[in-house]
Structure 1
Amino acid sequence: MRPYNATTREWLLYTILGIIADTLDTALTAISSPNRPQRSVLPSDIDNLGNEELLELRKSAPRLHPQAGAVRLTSGTVAKPSQDMDEDAPDPSEANALDRVFSGTTIPVPRVRRVVKSEWNFMIVMDHIDGPTLAQVWPTLSTWRKILVAFTLRRYVRQLRRLQAPPGAPPGPLAAQGPARICESPVFGAVQSHRGPFASYAELSAFFNDRHRRALDAGNVAQDDPARKDLFDDSEPLVLTHQDINLRNIVVGEGGRLWLIDWAWAGYYPPWFEYVAMETQNEHARVSGTDDEFWKMLVPFICGPYFRQYRWIARMSLALCWV
């Protein structure tokens, strides 16, 4: 992780800008509530096809990208395999997350049209969103348009954070049924990005606090050092987080509408995980979709300036390399 030495002044500036933006967002929502894209409530061109027909179509469907698992199933849909770390997961967490976002927010996301069980996993069939990715469009945008993009993404993140985990629900992927699932997140580090499952929020906190202690021990930090008392921040409830918000996962659709795609890592986590995940991805332009410094400056505005939590994770990141 790259060091981030943000000052108190920077934190205060981002906090004030966030308050202003949220006030404006609330006012705009009161005046004119955003509508669900019309195409999302219309019938799909696969409605009359059976599951076996869809599985057969997938065999000859063209890939959307040479290195991607998603294929163009029909003119209006794409299909992608579920990516749950649990081999025996009874349902695909990505589809569960998309359904939760579709029903609980106005964020433009591909609507799940069908979930089909195949031999090794699930096939998730969802709407195909036409348009370039934001990574392709970003260099052509004016500074003002880039700021508007950041404002829109902040509105999306605000809506996601209103979707709190149900009482007693474990952290991690959304499950319609079954026990807690293995968590996958950039916050867990590059060496092993999946951990758990964690039966409770307390278990997630205990995992990170143990790794923090081990990192301090490896660095021969004195037992009375104040860093020993700086623990994992679990002060806020678990909320729905995307964890893969980058320019490659945002499609610029009709009318300039921003569609948020690829919810494979989504789950219930502390709110600051979204910020740490975005900062972590910004370390590599190939992952984030850009090396633009202005985009990096906008991330604390989009997700909130969780500088302290990012420094805490960075300080103990070596311990996350250990199995």
Structure 2
Amino acid sequence: LTSHSDIVQRCNHPKRQIIGGLPYGDLVIKLSVATVVKFGAGVSGEEADNQRRAFDLLDGSVVRVPRVIDFFTWTDGGYTKGYLVMEYIDGDILESVSSYQIDQIVKILSHFSTIQCQRPGPLQTGVSRGLLWEENGKPNFETVKQMEHWLNLRLPGVESKLALERYPLVLCHLDLAPRNIIWLKDGSVCLLDWASAGFYPRFFEICLLKIME
């Protein structure tokens, strides 16, 4: 593995090989035939921890998770960016999928539901991140009751409040956009971007899919 300074230089090079990300946001570039780096102000140690935990928890025969190789931060000119170095997995990102591929996603979600935890929040400890949380801060929940209270406070005028304690907390990805799903040539599936993942009621995953439609 090359040094951190070399990786930063590669990321800043005008001829860098960009393979993912957003033009004015976090980017993914290829470092070698086997490694890539995701970098930017939005790339955090918590995301790296989440991805490591997902790699450990999930059955690779059901869904692939890129192995995390390294994470570090680098400050230059007063701006700090995170650098997440990981395994490169070759495949295709599709905007539309077949019924067979939809069945594969359903199988992955079913596998997710077998992995449970008593405490809500990220796969590792820390604050909840993603579309459900960040507009109103990044909460750190100890119990389902705390999460339920936090969400209900943000549903003014709604007569029927959320009651979450009856739902098991299962592994959720919470960002299953097409850009985060790699379809490999051998028929297997790899999921990217584990920044929002955590243990939540399963219907949270469905809600986020609806929001992203």
- In the alignment, the residues of structure 2 paired with residue 126 and residue 193 of structure 1 have an alpha-carbon distance, to the nearest angstrom, of 30
Identity value in percent: 23
Shift of 1:280: 0.8
Report the counterpart of residue 92 of structure 1 in structure 2. Answer: 45
Residue 245 of structure 1: how far off its partner (Å): 0.8
SS class of match (2:19):
coil
Distance in 2, matches of 1:276 and 1:163, equals 19
Aligned to 2:68: 112
Aligned to 1:131: 91
- 2:179 partner amino acid: R
Q: Which runs of 5+ in 1 are unaligned?
A: 1-45, 86-90, 217-226, 283-323
Separation (CA, whole Å) in 1 of partners of 2:45 and 2:66: 15
Q: Distance in 1 between matches of 2:171 and 2:177?
A: 17
2:33 corresponds to which residue? 75
Shift of 1:126: 0.9
Q: Which residue of 2 aligns with 1:152?
A: 104
Q: Which has the higher helix share?
A: 1
The DSSP-based 3-state class of the residue aligned with 1:239 is strand
Q: Return the alpha-carbon distance in structure 2 between the equivalents of residues 174 and 121 of structure 1.
A: 22
| SS of the residue 1:275 aligns to | helix
CA distance in 1, matches of 2:136, 2:18: 26
Structure 2: unaligned runs, 5 residues or longer: none
Show the counterpart of 2:157: 215
Distance across 2 between alignment mates of 1:97 and 1:233:
23
**Equivalent residue in structure 2 for 1:186, among 123, 131, 139:** 131
Asked which structure has the greater CA Rg, the reply is 1
CA contact (8 A) 1:250 1:258 kept: yes
Q: Which residue of 1 aligns with 2:121?
A: 172
Rounded to whole Å, the distance in 1 between the matches of 2:6 and 2:138 is 36
**Number of matched pairs:** 201
Alignment equivalent of 1:263, drawn from 164, 169, 194: 194
TM-score (norm: length of structure 2):
0.79
Say whether the 8 Å CA contact 2:144–2:164 is kept in structure 1: no
Letter paired with 1:233: L
Deviation at 1:63, TM superposition (A): 2.4
Question: Could you tell me how far apart the structure 2 residues matched to 1:272 and 1:83 are?
Answer: 30
Secondary structure of 1:64's counterpart equals: strand
Shift of 1:151: 1.7
Q: Give the structure-1-normalised TM-score.
A: 0.55
Note if contact 1:93-1:174 (Cα within 8 Å) is conserved in structure 2. no
